[in-house]
Structure 1
Amino acid sequence: MRSTIITATAELLAQSSSGDISTRAVCEAAGVQQPVIYRLFGDKEGLLAATVDHVWDEYLSMKRQAEQSDDPLKDLRSGWDSHTAFAIAHPNAYRLLFGSNAVDRAESADEAMRLLRAVLDRLAAQGRLRVDPEVGARVVMAANTGVALALILRPALYPDLALSTMMRDIVHGALVSDAAPASDAGESSRIAATTLRGALISMPDTLFTDREAGLLDEWLNRIQSQPPAG
Structure 2
Amino acid sequence: MPPSQPVSAAAVDSDTAATDREQPRQRVIEAAADLLAREGRDAVTTRAVAVAAGLQPPAIYRLFGDKAGLLDAVAEYGFASFLAAKEAKRAGQAPQDPVEDLRAGWDLAVEFGLAHPALYSLMYSEPTRAASAAFTTGMKILMGRIRRLAADGWLRVDEHLAAMLIHATARGAVLTWLSLPEDGRDPALLTTMRESMVTAVTNQEPAVQTAGPAGAARALIAALPEQSALSGAEQHLLREWLGRIASDG
- TM bin, normalised by shorter chain, reads 0.7 to 0.9
CA distance in 1 between counterparts of 2:39 and 2:75 reads 14
CA distance in 2 between counterparts of 1:192 and 1:200 reads 12
Match of 2:243 in 1: 221
What residue ranges of structure 1 are gaps of 5+ in the alignment? none
CA distance in 1 between counterparts of 2:42 and 2:189 reads 24
- Taking only the aligned residue pairs, the percentage that are identical comes to 37
Query: How far did 1:14 drift?
Result: 0.2
Match of 1:161 in 2: 187
Residues 1:195 and 2:211 aligned together? no
Corresponding pairs, count: 221
Q: Identify if the C-alpha distance between structure 1 residues 105 and 35 changes in structure 2 by more than 3 Å, giving closer, same or farther.
A: farther
- Alignment-mate amino acid for residue 201 of structure 1: P
CA distance in 2 between counterparts of 1:75 and 1:36 reads 44
Once the two structures are superposed, the pairs formed by residues 51-66 of structure 1 within 5 Å of their partners are 51-65=74-88, 66=90
- Alignment-mate amino acid for residue 29 of structure 1: A
Residues 1:130 and 2:156 aligned together? yes
Q: Are the aligned partners of 2:78 and 2:123 in contact in 1 as well (CA < 8 Å)? A: no
SS at 1:160's partner residue?
coil
Match of 1:108 in 2: 134
TM-score (norm 1): 0.85
Which is richer in helix?
A: 2
Residues 1:209 and 2:235 aligned together? no
1:31 corresponds, among 54, 64, 70, to 54
CA distance in 2 between counterparts of 1:7 and 1:187 reads 55
CA distance in 2 between counterparts of 1:213 and 1:104 reads 29
Once the two structures are superposed, the pairs formed by residues 16-27 of structure 1 within 5 Å of their partners are 16-17=39-40, 21-27=44-50
Residue range with higher mean Cα deviation, 136-145 or 97-106: 97-106
SS at 1:208's partner residue?
coil
Q: CA RMSD in A?
A: 2.5
Between structure 1 and structure 2, the one with the greater Rg is 2
CA distance in 2 between counterparts of 1:43 and 1:187 reads 59
SS at 2:212's partner residue?
helix
Q: Identify if the C-alpha distance between structure 1 residues 60 and 102 changes in structure 2 by more than 3 Å, giving closer, same or farther.
A: same
